[in-house]
Amino acid sequence: MRRLARGVTIVWIGLRYGLDELVLSSFRQPWLRALTRLLSLGRDLSAPRGQRLREALERLGPLFVKFGQVLSTRRDLLPADIADELARLQDRVPPFPSAVAVASIERAFGKPLDQIFVQFDQVPVASASIAQVHFAVLRDRKGGEREVAVKVLRPGMLPTIEQDLALMRMLAGWVQRASAEAKRLKPLEVVAEFDKYLHDELDLVREAASAAQLRRNMAGLDLVLIPEMFWDYCTPEVIVMERMKGVPIGQTARLREAGVDMRKLARDGVTIFFTQVFRDGFFHADMHPGNIQISLEPATFGRYISLDFGIVGTLTEHDKEYLAQNFTAFFRRDYKRVAELHIESGWVPRNTRVDELEAAIRAVCEPYFDRPLREISLGMVLMRLFQTSRRFQVEIQPQLVLLQKTLLNIEGLGRDLDPELDLWSTAKPFLEKWMMNQIGPQALLRQLRDEAPRYAKLLPEIPRLLVEFLRQGSRSQRNDQQMQLLLAEQRRTNRLLQAIIYGGIGFALGLLAMQLWFRIRLF
């Protein structure tokens, strides 16, 4: 019943904000346009369509706000007015009352607010779908003061998310049972992945731990800044972190005026992404413009500032190697190797013909090489790849959904920063270097170095292990000799038994023959 009620609510909100009119008006058929005008009667749809869509997503809750955030980065797929409105979902979701935030902080730390902070800004600096952020000045235990950002979880999140996820699971089940084509897309597994990441976002300690891991991983790259976490003030509902000062990456005019090299910035973003994915297997998976700033401080001028680590992605060594080989083969236009990798990984049936899959992939990808991003319609590429995957029964990999989403975010950012950016040529040298590190001499030395502690522990034990081996060998040899003697004795016994049996049979036959001979003589 709750799912039904939530479904009715979604339909009602969609009708209230005229989302049906927004969808139907995009069709050119006259009868659909007439239906649109008929359905619009009696409703006030005077507000711009982008505003109505944004407000509807805000009313529907965090799950739909997340959906809008992803859409807002795809300006090549959306009209400008809708993209501009959805961009407001990045960090301008209506905030919850500051009194509620203060109550959450005092409950989490068990102290009045003024005993924790010298200063606390009541007006939030950012408000997103899951939490909002306030700037403050923390009382240091050593008597000093630190500028910090305080992130507070939005209250009452869990029940709403559970309802929406239950509805999504129900709809995904219907879709999966509807056809074999839908089943191939694994909608239930995709929803399960989305469920996991949303629940991870509701635990702010997990977010703080992810930020600390990324901070360690990126320490030597000198391209990105990640805030330090203050662990004495981190709880599941509230976390306190270092305050970062930068310009939102979406304010490109301001960045250009400050002298930031936009082309270098675009290339650095690609480098950061591929480093996190292929070197570390641990990447920031929510890289929309609201979570990225650029530092203008003299010591860190032009560096990225990453924020909001509620969603991170992880890849196994097998995933990284498979993806790197695929990317490298794509960059080299080795479509045969791409087809072979799809078959080896089990993404397509084993009986798929390599030459047919190779030709299909070539037809999709070849027209888009050596073009700047502004000339590439990713929507068309994805549509053709989907058609190809449907023909060859490619199975969607749910564990890579976050990676695909993040790659779309990176491409959207790259387009805004440098429309001439060639994503392929920028990433190719990095991936080739990474592959050499994985399979070349450095990989062998690294493996030996990693195994050295275990070898050092085994080295003193080698004499004892050798003696035990020789003893086992001698015991085994004696056992073999005893076994041979037993087998020889058994063979001798078998021959004796055979002689006795055959002798008995011969003796009986002899007696029978003598009796017959005497009877013949008598007659």
From the list 286, 308, 319, 422, the catalytic residue is 286
**In whole angstroms, what is the distance from residue 348 CA to residue 357 CA?**
10
**In whole angstroms, what is the distance from residue 484 CA to residue 480 CA?**
6
- Indicate if 286 belongs to the active site: yes
3-state secondary structure 275-344: HHHHHHCEEECCCCHHHEEECCCHHHCCCEEECCCCCEEECCHHHHHHHHHHHHHHHCCCHHHHHHHHHH
Nearest-Å Rg of the Cα atoms of the chain is 35
Under 8 Å between Cβ of 45 and 52: yes
Cα–Cα nearest to 215, from 234, 207, 386: 207
| N-terminal to C-terminal alpha carbon distance within the chain | 111
Under 8 Å between Cβ of 289 and 250: yes
Token match 């209230």: residue? Answer: 16
Burial of residue 140, with CB atoms counted within 10 A of its CB: 0-12 exposed, 13-18 middle, 19 or more buried: exposed
Angle between helices 187-201 and 62-72 (to 10 degrees): 100
Return the structure tokens found at 410.
């990176």
Q: How many other C-beta atoms lie within 10 A of the C-beta of residue 229?
A: 21
How wide is the angle at C-alpha 158 spanned by C-alphas 167 and 10, nearest 5°? Answer: 35
3-class DSSP assignment, residue 494: helix
Q: How many other C-beta atoms lie within 10 A of the C-beta of residue 48?
A: 13
Angle between helices 335-344 and 317-331 (to 10 degrees): 160
Burial of residue 338, with CB atoms counted within 10 A of its CB: 0-12 exposed, 13-18 middle, 19 or more buried: buried
Cα–Cα nearest to 311, from 288, 286, 277: 286
The DSSP-derived string for 396-436 is: P-GGGHHHHHHHHHHHHHHHHH-TT--HHHHHHHHHHHHHH
**In whole angstroms, what is the distance from residue 194 CA to residue 192 CA?**
5
- Which amino acid is located at 189 in the chain? E
Cα–Cα nearest to 287, from 409, 165, 116, 399: 409
Q: Which sequence positions are flagged as catalytic?
A: 286
